[in-house]
Amino acid sequence: MTQERLWQVLDPPWGDLHALLALLCSSAAAVGLLRWLGRRQVQQKMDEARRSRHLALERMEKAARRLKQENPGTQSSQILSLTMVELAEKLKEGSLSPESVLYSYMDKALEVNQEVNCVTDFIHGCEDQLQELKKQKEKGLLYGIPISIKDHINCKGHISSGGMVKFLGQVKEVDSIIVQVLKHQGGIPFVKTNIPQTMINYDCSNLIFGQTLNPLNPQKSPGGSSGGEGALIAGGGSILGMGSDVGGSIRLPSSFCGLCGLKPTGNRISKQGVVGALMGMQSVTGVLGPMARDVDSLALCMKALLCQEMFQLDPTVPPIPFNDQQLGPSSCRVLRRDGYFQPSPSMIRAVQLTRQLLQDAGHTLAPFAPPKIDYMVDELFTRGIFSDGAAHLVDCFKGDMVDPNLKSQYNTYRLPALLKRILAIILKPIYPRIARDLGALCGVG
């Protein structure tokens, strides 16, 4: 009897085996169905966001056409050729109207977007703002200047996608503080621009709104993460844009697109009212800043932003106004190479040219070499950004799909910390920099 029972256990009836196989198959099918339903839901959200963008651009086109009919005889090409300082002067003196300037840039932005796919939304409140400008007693420093806004900076009545499905459908009820200040100074935010998924990427692509191209060469990237801003301004569809920067997100698109960009000192500009995949990060300071065609435009924008309105809306911003006094000859430090990144020939030429211009202006120059560069980049910067081992960033992808341009990064981020450490040890003799990066990606502790 005992042998028979043992045999039954070791050799179960075919019916039991079939039942087990059926259970396994049905479980696998259920998991597959849930995954399919999840991906379908994600796809539906992305399709809806694309439809919303299409309708917004149609509304923008109609608004531009209506403003053009109401303001006949405007020479748009002449308006678009002016520098921002020249445009601001003509708007303030009244020789140009805000309506004619706005529709000129709306038309051009639509044209540029057709070529490089850089606009994600039309800020329809700009039409109401034109009426508000007429009621203002004083004309601000940016009176009538059309301004483009990076996707993740909140604008009332619009989403800030961050290039991710998790943020879709979340219509913002109030403007970010930087947008409020721009409006207070008479600026007119009129479009939002594309970014890479998560914004932790030097390209400009996401699965919602697609790939943005470089208007100077469509075979190239405009850079990231403020790539939509770089592409739109370089293409002539905006004269001033608001971007953001942690590790080059203003500076790289400005470089790739032949523009001027400024990463201000940390906490100089309020960051209240933005979304992102790395919210709460304190060890490495992200900043908002301007992008434009020339340095004078950046100076005018910073002077406008650093005002009492900014300091009152966000008490954490030091109340230090913009200092536009020209300083006399001074002592400057010149950094030719930082010892970590290899500069391109164009960068070397730019530093040499700047050095010569400073010398000609009477400044005293001395070489500068940053101390402990490897430690600063790997331990303070990379480990500071990914202090949790990129766990929060990876968690942001739940209920989303990964953009192909980000897949290699994502796969590296989600490796277990132990595996990252083992790979770092193995790669250290061959690729020491990659090994240090992997070690830093393990986070703190």
Confidence of residue 39 (pLDDT cuts 50, 70, 90): confident
- CATH classification code of 50-324: 3.90.1300.10
Residue span(s) of the chain under CATH 3.90.1300.10 come to 50-324
Confidence of residue 31 (pLDDT cuts 50, 70, 90): low
pLDDT at 347: 87
For 129, residues 6+ apart whose C-beta sits below 8 A from its C-beta are 183, 188
> How far is 364 from 383, CA to CA, in rounded Å?
36
pLDDT at residue 26 above 80? no
Nearest CA-CA partner of 367 in 342, 337, 341: 337
Check 100, 148, 176, 225 and give the catalytic one: 225
Check 97, 100, 148, 150 and give the catalytic one: 150
Check 104, 249, 270, 297 and give the catalytic one: 249
Active site residue 150: yes
pLDDT at 327: 64
pLDDT at 331: 80
Residues 106 and 100 sit within 8 Å (Cβ to Cβ): no
Active site residue 225: yes
Which of the pair, 175 or 339, is modelled with greater confidence?
175
Nearest CA-CA partner of 140 in 97, 176, 177, 188: 188
Mean of the pLDDT values across residues 79-86? 98
Residue 414 to residues 388, 394, 395, Cα–Cα distance (Å): 11, 6, 9
> How far is 146 from 117, CA to CA, in rounded Å?
19
Active site residue 331: no
Confidence of residue 34 (pLDDT cuts 50, 70, 90): low
pLDDT digits (tens, 9 = 90+) for 311-346: 999 999 999 999 887 667 788 888 888 888 889 898
pLDDT at residue 6 above 50? no
pLDDT at residue 7 above 70? no
Confidence of residue 17 (pLDDT cuts 50, 70, 90): low
Give the Cα-Cα-Cα angle 111, 65, 172 (nearest 5 degrees): 75
